[in-house]
């Protein structure tokens, strides 16, 4: 396993560059970071290059001329100010930041606080199945759909969250039908997503979800023993039931003629302390289930996880050792012909080598709070995000931006919204401004607030920053040393194939 120091950026520019000889007109603005004896250097456009120490000195001092090799490399990567095609780069920048012209695209509908599982780390602060008073009503559901369709975005996804959203099945169905009818006039790119443990599913419900093209996502926390220990279900074997439905759903997609490499049930693991030593077991479990991707999620500071951190928590160094072991194993499997990827890496690599913004809301600037997503509580209150309503479930309404009684314009322009946009913009963070990974990174104010008591956060001692910077360091190392086979694998991970089957038909239905 790679053992480089994830925080190795202590080299000062004065150690490499003769500051009195710096040419301020030669290079575009750039940041750098020491990686594996060299420097990962990036510019605000998102281009990067790996330079040896003397090459970094020559970049800063303007000591490169046409024909010397370095000049051509720097020109190709847009580091020479005089060689920049400003119009082309402006168009490129605008394309990657087109989300700034949209409104929220993700609308998380919390259908109920009830859940039949007892997950040890539950981020949603669920209640028992008898608490029907926590269900969203049809009246609130329709008003929430009306609000979601007021977004200025050309597309929107309604995501069914909980608790366990299948516990409020009639309202889920009503939302799908009402939204489809609304879209007959709105003509937006509409899709639905269900986040469920699948144990309340039956053949009739599945038939409806398949017919209405609702994308289905679940959670699998690794091998059967680990999954059932972390996600206990008093009514049976949760692992067997959930994976059984995954298999059935995937078979239905194949029967419809859909590409099984693109259309499969997404399953997400949450990594707790007992799983840190089982990286290969987790990967093997997902591969055995036919999954093509893992999203290795660190335990978040929301809900019950904040109380169980002493039993389930770990240091960021522990997580990164786990993460690198898992991804290196995934890379080895790919070299053996098993196509599987890790989604954190795929998202970051999309920005670094595929030069497109995958619109992952937690890693963009400004972040996704309010302007990228909204969270709708069953009582009609509206939050900055799904994480914002998780904070509210812990007794703190800091991220409540209003309710269904407000207008869309009031939600988008109030003081809380403005503060969250500013707080989630990298250019407002002193450490982010000078970071080599700034063009590819972002922040989550809700995470900052729960871990540091401020929506802006302090990146110098932020576990959020530590995690992402460490993964970027790992990827920069792999990119620096990748052979042709590995680069082709990374490019395959960044291939953007939209799942158009899940888009609803526009116009009359």
Residue ranges for the chain with pLDDT beneath 70: 1-13, 304-306, 507-509
User: How many residues are recorded in the chain?
Assistant: 509
What is the structure's pLDDT at 4? 45
Q: Which residue is listed with tokens 């693991």?
A: 269
* CA–centroid distance for 400 within its chain: 22
Here the tokens at position 317 are 């160094």
The residue with tokens 């939600």 is 411
DSSP line for 287-302: HHTT-SEE--EEPPSS
Q: Which residues contact 139 (CB under 8 A, 6 or more apart)?
A: none
User: In terms of DSSP H, where are the helices of 336-376?
Assistant: 343-352
The DSSP element (H or E) to which 31 belongs, if any, is strand 31-35
Contact 201, 488 (CB under 8 A): no
Residues 105, 157: contact at Cβ < 8 Å?
A: yes
Which residues partner with 50 through β-bridges?
40
Contacts of 33 (CB under 8 A, 6+ apart): 8, 9, 39, 40, 435, 436, 437, 473, 476
pLDDT for 7 equals 42
Contact 446, 391 (CB under 8 A): yes
9 close to 34: Cβ distance less than 8 angstroms: yes
Say how far apart CA 368 and CA 371 lie, in whole Å: 6
Task: Calculate the CA 321 to chain-centre distance.
Answer: 20
Interatomic CA distance for residues 409 and 429, integer angstroms: 28
The H or E element containing residue 159 is: strand 155-161
Residue 215 in contact with residue 263, Cβ under 8 Å? no
Per-residue pLDDT at 5: 43
- At residue 310, the pLDDT reads 79
**First-to-last C-alpha distance (Å) of the chain:** 54
- β-partners of residue 393 are none
Would you state the pLDDT for residue 62?
95
Provide the pLDDT for residue 13.
66
**pLDDT value of position 309:** 79
Q: Name, in order, each residue with C-beta under 8 angstroms of 125's C-beta and a sequence gap of 6 or more.
A: 113, 303, 304, 390, 393, 394
Question: CATH 3.20.20.70: does it fit domain 98-388?
Answer: yes
pTM of the model: 0.94
Task: Examine residue 247 and say whether the peptide bond preceding it is cis (omega within 30 degrees of 0).
Answer: no
Domain residues of the chain, as ranges?
Answer: 13-96, 98-388
| pLDDT tens-digit map of 175-208 | 999 999 999 999 999 999 999 999 999 999 999 9
């Amino acid at each position: 396993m790679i053992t480089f120091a994830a925080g190795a950026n202590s080299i000062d520019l004065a150690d490499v560059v003769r500051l009195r000889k710096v040419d301020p007109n030669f290079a575009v603005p750039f940041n750098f970071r020491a990686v594996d004896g060299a420097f990962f250097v990036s510019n605000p456009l998102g281009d990067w290059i790996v330079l040896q120490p003397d090459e970094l000195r020559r970049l800063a001092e303007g000591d490169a001329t046409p024909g010397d090799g370095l000049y051509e490399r720097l020109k190709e990567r847009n580091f020479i100010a005089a060689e920049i095609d400003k119009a082309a780069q402006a168009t490129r920048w605008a394309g990657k930041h087109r989300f700034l012209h949209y409104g929220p695209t993700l609308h998380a509908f919390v259908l109920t606080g009830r859940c039949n599982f007892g997950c040890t780390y539950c981020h949603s602060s669920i209640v028992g199945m008898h608490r029907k008073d926590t269900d969203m009503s049809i009246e609130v559901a329709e008003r929430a759909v009306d609000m979601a369709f007021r977004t200025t975005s050309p597309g929107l996804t309604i995501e069914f969250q909980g608790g366990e959203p299948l516990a409020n099945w009639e309202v889920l169905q009503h939302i799908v039908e009402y939204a489809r009818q609304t879209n007959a006039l709105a003509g937006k790119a509409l899709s639905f997503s269900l986040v469920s443990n699948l144990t309340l599913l039956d053949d009739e419900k599945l038939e409806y979800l398949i017919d209405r093209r609702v994308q289905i996502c679940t959670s699998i926390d690794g091998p059967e023993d680990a999954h059932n220990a972390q996600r206990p279900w008093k009514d049976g074997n949760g692992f067997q039931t959930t994976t059984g439905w995954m298999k059935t759903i995937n078979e239905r997609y194949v029967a419809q003629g859909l590409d099984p490499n693109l259309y499969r049930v997404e399953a997400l693991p949450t990594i707790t302390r007992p799983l840190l030593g089982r990286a290969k077991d987790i990967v093997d479990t997902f591969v055995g289930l036919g999954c093509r991707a893992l999203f290795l999620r660190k335990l978040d500071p929301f809900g019950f996880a904040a109380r169980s951190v002493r039993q389930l928590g770990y240091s960021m160094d522990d997580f990164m050792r786990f993460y690198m072991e898992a991804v290196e194993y995934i890379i080895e499997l790919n070299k053996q012909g098993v196509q599987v990827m890790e989604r954190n890496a795929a998202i970051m690599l999309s920005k670094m080598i595929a030069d497109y913004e995958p619109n992952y809301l937690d890693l963009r600037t400004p972040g996704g709070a309010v302007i990228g997503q909204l969270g709708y509580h069953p009582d009609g209150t509206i939050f900055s995000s799904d994480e914002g309503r998780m904070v509210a479930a812990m007794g703190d309404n800091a991220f409540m931006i209003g309710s269904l009684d407000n207008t869309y314009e009031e939600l988008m322009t109030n003081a809380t919204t403005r503060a969250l946009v500013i707080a989630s913009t990298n250019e407002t963070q002193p450490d982010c401004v000078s970071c080599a990974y700034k063009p590819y990174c972002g922040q989550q104010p809700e995470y900052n607030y729960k871990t540091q008591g401020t929506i802006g956060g302090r990146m110098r001692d932020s576990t959020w920053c530590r995690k992402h910077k460490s993964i970027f360091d790992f990827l920069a190392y792999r990119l620096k040393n990748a052979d042709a086979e590995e680069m082709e694998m990374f490019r395959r991970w960044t291939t953007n194939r939209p799942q158009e089957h899940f888009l609803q038909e526009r116009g009359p239905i």
